[in-house]
Amino acid sequence: MIQIIEENDDSDLFVMNHDIKKNIVILFPMTRGEDKNIQRWQKLISTVNQSNVTALVLIDKTPFHQATNYFVEKEIEIFADILIIQRPRTEPIHDSQLRVRLKDNLWILQLHDDDEWEGYLEIPFEATNNSIVKTNFTVVNNGLNTRVSDPNWPDCRSIFSLLPSKVWNRFVDLIIAQGGHVAGSIDSSLNLAVSLIRPNLFYPHFTYFYDNRHWGSRRLSKVHLVQLTQEDGWGKFATVDISLVSRAIDGIATLIFFRDLYSEAEFQLQTKNWIRATKPHPLRIFSRRVEILVLRLFAKVLNIIPGQNSSPLRAFLDRSILYRKILLSTWVAFEVNNYLSIVKLLMQVEFLKILRPRFIFWESQLRKNEMRNPG
């Protein structure tokens, strides 16, 4: 079966399970055209045909939808349903995924067209409808392969694992709850929550090779983080620091959103560890305090200068103070309920209106936690 949802059609895609068996769905976002990626497309087809795959879902962002033409018009022998969602090239990858929902007894795994993989896929016999199935994972830095032993590292690991329909559909709900637009770090938030869901199984016959080209050095990481934050809609606040603030709060909100899928004790421990892990060095906290003090002194001086109270300089100072106050408040928060005041600060920023649905989601989850754990 071949199904195509065209770019101007916002319909959801429901992936069917044609029998009662445990089956696999491969999700393959595509951005590179046939001239650059034909070998990976052929490798993808080979992997599907060697594995227990019931459906191949293609998110086609290739030039002129070359991928659709290839998979539909070519006489390709493929032993799975082909389901194609055409999306704009500029749409962030996770925003596109909110259209994909799974029926029961399906597990979904992503492959990206700029990575490599080898082996075949099956669902372990002992898997339940809660089971997260991890595979071998290798990080590639400038051609150097590093086998990863930690099942929860790197932060994107869960995206490249077999996620059951119960968990995947909750992830889709998470994207929708944020207004259909999520930060690039949402894979980190998902990984945080998924690491608590039991049972966590391992499948040894498949290896994913993750190209770490954006994060291979401190400089590259900084450039990529700033770019992602700008694309996300943070405007004048688009910095590495604010991206980490967003990641910290989104991680907490996601843990709350998935809370019913693990124990209360696990939730409390994971939240505490996450909050602790998002803190910078004490010297950075001290430097922000000093900066706020200096900026407030400048603002005070402007108040006594005629005509300066509403000047562009004063607006710049106010914005700079608020930016640092948001950073500082995040860095000194040590309880989940402390983050509510930070979200309220973010809601005050006029040029962050595009992110308001996300802030409202954060606030709703934090308030849900506050009602459950007052004080």
For residue range 80-102, list pLDDT tens digits in order: 999 999 999 999 999 999 999 99
Measured in whole angstroms, the distance separating CA 229 from the mean position of its chain's CA atoms is 13
* 307, pLDDT greater than 60: no
Average pLDDT of the residues of the chain: 93
Q: What pLDDT band is residue 288 in, cutting at 50, 70 and 90? A: very high
DSSP code per residue over 83-131 = EEEE--TTS-HHHHGGGEEE-TTEEEEE--TTSEEEE-----TT--TT-
What is 2-211's CATH number?
3.90.550
- Looking at the DSSP bridge assignments, the partners of residue 58 are 28, 84
Q: Is the pLDDT of residue 306 over 70?
A: no
Read off the pLDDT band of 14 (50, 70, 90): very high
Residue 309 predicted with pLDDT over 80? no
- pLDDT tens-digit series, residues 173-192: 999 999 999 999 999 999 99
Q: How far is CA 368 from the centre of its chain?
A: 22
Of residues 85 and 300, the one with the higher pLDDT is 85
pLDDT of residue 312: 82
User: What integer pLDDT is reported at residue 375 of this predicted model?
Assistant: 59
Rounded Cα–Cα distance for residues 323 and 370 (Å): 25
| CA atoms of 342 and 374, how far apart (whole Å) | 18
CA distance 70 to 72: 6
Stretch 12-30: mean pLDDT: 93
Mean pLDDT of 237-253: 96
**In the chain, what percentage of residues exceed pLDDT 70?**
97
What pLDDT, on the 0 to 100 scale, is given for residue 36? Answer: 77
Place of tokens 């055409």: 86
> Does pLDDT of 308 surpass 70?
no
- Any idea where the domains of the chain sit in the sequence? 2-211, 218-372
Distances (CA, A) of 13 to 5, 57, 85, 347, 349: 8, 9, 8, 33, 36
pLDDT single digits (tens) 120-151: 999 999 999 999 999 999 999 988 999 999 99
Amino acid symbol at 117? W
CA angle 264, 269, 274 (to 5 degrees): 125
Indicate the pLDDT class of residue 277, thresholds 50, 70 and 90: very high
Retrieve residue 330's tokens: 């995040």
In DSSP notation, 266-316 reads HHHHHHHHHHHHT---HHHHHHHHHHHHHHHHHHHHHHTSTT-TTSHHHHH
The pair phi, psi for residue 202, each rounded to 5°, is -125, 135
What is the rounded CA–CA span in Å between residue 345 and residue 252?
17
- The model's confidence at residue 67, banded by pLDDT at 50, 70 and 90, is very high
Percent of the chain with pLDDT strictly greater than 90: 81
Residue 304 has pLDDT above 80, yes or no: no
Confidence at 74, pLDDT banded by 50, 70, 90: confident
8-state DSSP, 17 = -
Split at pLDDT 50, 70, 90, the class of 220 is confident
